[in-house]
Amino acid sequence: MSSNLQTAMEDIIKVFHCYSGKEGDKYKLSKPELKTLLQGELGEFLAATKDPTVVDKIMGDLDDDQDGEVNFHEFVVLVAALTVACNDFFVDYDKSKKGK
């Protein structure tokens, strides 16, 4: 039986490969593939930004090797950053609730 963390890791890998390779390299996300992934998996985050250039900004931030695509290592940076941001939000939220 898999642990929660192992299952989460497997799910991240599956999500990436579900969207990668629809066009071009099957081990990378093109900009349209990244946009589809973000809309399908993180639609609420995208809707909350109200910024029509958010996908371009995310792509620019993630694409370390400047090849115009996001590989798995670059994608994991996004997942980690969002996870840290969510954790920070909930920690701050919990602190503010206790302070009331």
Residue 97 above 80 pLDDT?
no
Q: What is the C-alpha separation between 38 and 99, in angstroms, rounded?
A: 35
Q: Counting every residue, how long is the chain?
A: 100
Question: What's 4-98's CATH class?
Answer: mainly alpha
What confidence score (pLDDT) does residue 86 get?
A: 86
**Three-class secondary structure of residue 81 per DSSP:** helix
Condensed to tens digits (0 to 9), the pLDDT of residues 35-92 reads 999 999 998 888 888 888 989 999 999 999 999 999 999 999 999 999 998 888 777 7
What confidence score (pLDDT) does residue 7 get?
A: 97
